[in-house]
Amino acid sequence: MQRAADRVLVVALVLGFAAASGALAARTGAWGLPHNDDWAMLRIAQRLGDTGELRLVGWNRMSLVGQSVLGAGALRLVGGGVSTLQAVSLAAAALLPAVAYALLRRFLPPGRAVLGALTLVGTCELWLLSASFMTDVLAALLVVGCLLLGVAAVRAPARRAAVLLLVGAVLGGLWAFTVREGALAAPVAVLLAAAVGRRDLRAPVWASAGAGGVAVVVFELWRRSLPGDDPPVLVVDLVATAAHGVEALLWTGLVLSPVTLLLGRWWRRGRAWVAVGVTGCLAGWVGLGLDRPLFPANYLSQRGGYSTAELGSRAVLVPDAVWAVVCVVAVVSAGVLVERLADRRGRRVAAGTDPAARVLTWFLALTVAGLLVQDLVGQATYSRYLLALPPVLAVLVLQTVPSAGTAAAPHRRAWVGSAVLLAACCALAVVLTAGTLRSDTARWTAAQELADAGVDPMSIAVGQEWSGWHSAVPAVHAGRDAPGDRGWWTGMFSGASECWLVAVDDRERAGYRLVSAGSGVWVSRAETTC
């Protein structure tokens, strides 16, 4: 009976999110348009599908091959273009909460598993990424799937079943690695946990580790040898890395606030208040001392996602008072989260009594270490890199909540409050997503009208996705932020100019005259001949 209920929940999660996200993208007119960085992934996958050639475009620092092959296969199977590739991402985004629920159910009863899985739906990252062809959602889905199979492998009573599940986990993890390199933490965590928790699996663990290690090295050497690669550049900035760490913690705290704030009676523990106070000081250091946003770039902000990838300053989508509440909730929840993770008492996972739980703890440790190294070599930590963390952390936190039927169990009011807080997170995510997609659509439509009237698309500065999509040559990463450019991306594309500007504010720009305005965009033309 319970398995039937689980299946119903999984189907509801998949269909419900797919319908809601697809409807939002269609209603805002954003379906079928490039968004943010996905112009690069779209072009690579389309060329692979059309010609069988994997050609990079200079804005492709992640491995992305695993997603490109999947996208090219979808194009050859059903045809279409951008819409088909974005449908692949929508499917992955819809499956992610469902697979997260399956993972959570390995440790928690249904109600708690649903709450933990739905925290993902409360992120604007999942909503925005589901309408694009970015690599983050597919990578997160494969990572969580790898962890699910790994947990099942460690717990499987029969060795044959355990070996098959282990091999499946490693293969899924390696596929995730070919999408984003940071996903390698998942199969490594599975292998470590299996080696420690199951003596009878040590031989297949060593075999999988050897074969997987060779595959990773060969793949990476081949991938980095391709023309048009965009290799990372060593830029060590310890202050920036520390700030990124605090921002990531606050984002995680906000996402998990329905899990942390109302179910554990943290306000009765002095150490929890200490953790909240320290987190508040760190937030003050980042926000006031460094004058940085409290959340990682570049999705969760008052103005919506990736607003710096367009000209001008987008209108605020969330009022200051509401945003202040969001920040306070994030700080308090992050402090409580740290306190819960640091306290081993009453937490079976941290105590190590469940061998399968080592899969999760190893994954967390390796992921944090990987993000730290990545940040130190110049790739800032964006919130979309963190999508696989909330369900894993939800397991650790929810296992500290006393079970139903005990004196310390949360009251029904606490569960209702958690549901209300989750609904508020979802509402915030939808507001930010809708505002971002409307801006994307308005900018693209205005630029397309100019192009239809005979204007050279590369002479229109509207956003990096427009220039990247229309450029005939690969981007040159070193050309970004060139002096004098109004758009930081213009210098990356040879042949790009700024004869025409499509901005999202009405600020006067020297040397330009306003041509038209409407739908939240202002079109200007250079007064001098380009």
Model confidence pLDDT, tens digit, residues 360-403: 999 999 999 999 988 888 788 999 999 999 999 999 999 888 77
Instruction: Give the separation between CA 129 and CA 436, rounded to whole angstroms.
Output: 11
Query: To 10 degrees, what angle do helices 389-398 and 82-105 make?
Result: 20
Q: Are 144 and 152 in contact (CB under 8 A)?
A: no
What angle is formed at CA 428 by the lines to CA 423 and CA 434, rounded to 5 degrees? Answer: 120
Instruction: Give the separation between CA 454 and CA 442, rounded to whole angstroms.
Output: 19
Instruction: Give the separation between CA 113 and CA 424, rounded to whole angstroms.
Output: 19
Q: Which of 7-16, 225-234, 403-412 has the lowest mean pLDDT?
A: 403-412
Q: Are 468 and 40 in contact (CB under 8 A)?
A: yes
Count of alpha carbons within 13 Å of 483, Cβ hemisphere only?
0
Q: What are the tens digits of pLDDT across the range 94-129?
A: 999 999 999 999 999 999 999 999 999 999 999 999
Q: Which of 2-6, 172-176, 179-183, 318-322 has the lowest mean pLDDT?
A: 2-6
Q: Which residue has the tokens 């809601």?
A: 20
pLDDT bracket for residue 407 (50, 70, 90): low
User: In this structure, are strands 500-503 and 512-518 parallel, antiparallel, or unpaired?
Assistant: unpaired
Instruction: Give the separation between CA 216 and CA 202, rounded to whole angstroms.
Output: 20
What's the pLDDT at 350?
45
* Phi, psi of 354, rounded to the nearest 5 degrees: -110, 105
Question: How many angstroms separate the first and last alpha carbons of the chain?
Answer: 70
DSSP state letters, 388-411: THHHHHHHHHHTTSPPTTSTTSPP
What's this model's pTM, rounded to 2 decimal places? 0.95
Model confidence at 331: pLDDT above 50: yes
pLDDT bracket for residue 2 (50, 70, 90): low
CA 176 to chain centre: 14
pLDDT bracket for residue 487 (50, 70, 90): confident
What's the pLDDT at 349?
46
User: In this structure, are strands 521-526 and 512-518 parallel, antiparallel, or unpaired?
Assistant: antiparallel
Kindly state the tokens that stand for 228.
């048009």
Longest dimension (CA), the chain: 78
What's the pLDDT at 519?
87
| SS3 assignment, position 506 | coil
Q: What are the tens digits of pLDDT across the range 33-59?
A: 999 999 999 999 999 999 999 999 988
Kindly state the tokens that stand for 303.
């103005």
Instruction: Give the separation between CA 212 and CA 215, rounded to whole angstroms.
Output: 5
- Round the average pLDDT of the chain to a whole number and report it: 92
How far lies 381's CA from each of 198, 217, 297, in Å? Answer: 34, 24, 7
User: In this structure, are strands 500-503 and 460-461 parallel, antiparallel, or unpaired?
Assistant: parallel
DSSP state letters, 431-465: HHHHHHHHHHHHHHHHHHHHHHTT--GGGEESBHH
Q: What are the tens digits of pLDDT across the range 162-214?
A: 999 999 999 999 999 999 999 999 999 999 999 998 999 999 999 999 999 99
What is the identity of the amino acid at 71?
A: G
Model confidence at 351: pLDDT above 50: no
pLDDT bracket for residue 229 (50, 70, 90): confident
What's the pLDDT at 352?
52
Q: Are 325 and 333 in contact (CB under 8 A)?
A: no
Model confidence at 455: pLDDT above 90: yes
Query: To 10 degrees, what angle do helices 136-155 and 159-177 make?
Result: 160
For residue 518, the cross-strand partners are: 521
